[in-house]
Amino acid sequence: MVPQSAPTDTRSVRSPARHSSTPASAARRVGTTTAAAGAAFGVVASGAFAAVIPTTVGGNTEADAAPDVTKATMLASQSAPIASSTTSTDGSPSGYFSPVAFDTTPAATHQAGAAHATASDVDVASLDKAGKIAEKIAAEHEKAAAAEAKKAAARQELDSTIAAGGLDGWIAEALDHMGMPQSYATGLKRIILKESNGDPDAINDWDSNAAAGNHSEGLMQVIPATFKRYVHPDFASESVTDPVANITAGVRYMVDRYGEETLAAGGRSSSSGGYMGY
């Protein structure tokens, strides 16, 4: 009787020599095992935790096929929080992955932003232009105000001259009533001094008009008919010897007959430069 041999173990025997552990081989084995575990066990991330779910292959779970991964390791992997690179507002680990910011702004919004920037540039340019316009208007107002102040000062001086009376006052008042510039005062005064020596009551009794019975009278030495025709309407009721009325009649007659330039020149002049009556 042939003795029965011990039942043969058909499972392969692992050779200790082949699986001797060295630091390098252990590290590779751990890495391989971890990778295999990640592939073999479906990793489902939920919130701050990752659940490792064993998968079934041919009726056996992959956990059974991974001898280096213990149940304790599996359970730990199911409950262990995934480390986070961020901290919460109170300083403790948040337990979440660092959020990744994605630019979800529509392209149209970016374009609108660019348009807004352009519009802002236009606004700045418009403000700058408006500021220059405002400065120009202010300068014009200042210039107008200065001119008005100058005009007011001239008016005050004129009123003072008129109020003072006398020859200068009568001339100033006559020119003012006729709306003529006061710059004619110098030439007009020269004419008056030549005609009457500034005497409002002067009467000519020696020329041809006097011989005809039409005596020339007043500052400008006008005859009654000339006075009546040329006197300024404001003084139509005044006598021929009224100083201001007489000046307005003489000036208006001179300008009508010889032109305004004769008044500015101080009357007509002879070829030798002497004064000639009008």
Beta 60-61 vs 268-269: how paired, if at all?
Answer: unpaired
What span, in angstroms and rounded, lies between the C-alpha atoms of 233 and 58? 133
**Region of poorest pLDDT, from 26-35, 50-59, 79-88, 194-203:** 26-35
What span, in angstroms and rounded, lies between the C-alpha atoms of 149 and 79? 93
Query: What is the mean pLDDT of the segment spanning 128-157?
Result: 93
Report residue 252's pLDDT band, with 50, 70 and 90 as the boundaries. very high
% of the chain surpassing 70 pLDDT: 56
Contact between 266 and 191 under an 8 Å Cβ cutoff? The reply is yes
**Greatest Cα pair distance in the chain:** 200
Contact between 249 and 222 under an 8 Å Cβ cutoff? The reply is yes
DSSP label at residue 176:
H
Report residue 273's pLDDT band, with 50, 70 and 90 as the boundaries. confident
% of the chain surpassing 90 pLDDT: 49
Query: What is the mean pLDDT of the segment spanning 16-34?
Result: 45
Q: CB under 8 Å, gap of 24 or more: what pairs does 130-135 form?
A: none
Nearest to 95 by CA among 49, 163, 148, 152: 49
> What are the tens digits of pLDDT across the range 39-56?
444 444 444 444 444 545
The CATH T-level fold of domain 166-276 is Lysozyme (1.10.530)
The structural domains of the chain, with segments of one domain joined by +, span: 39-79, 111-164, 166-276
**Region of poorest pLDDT, from 17-21, 176-180, 217-221:** 17-21
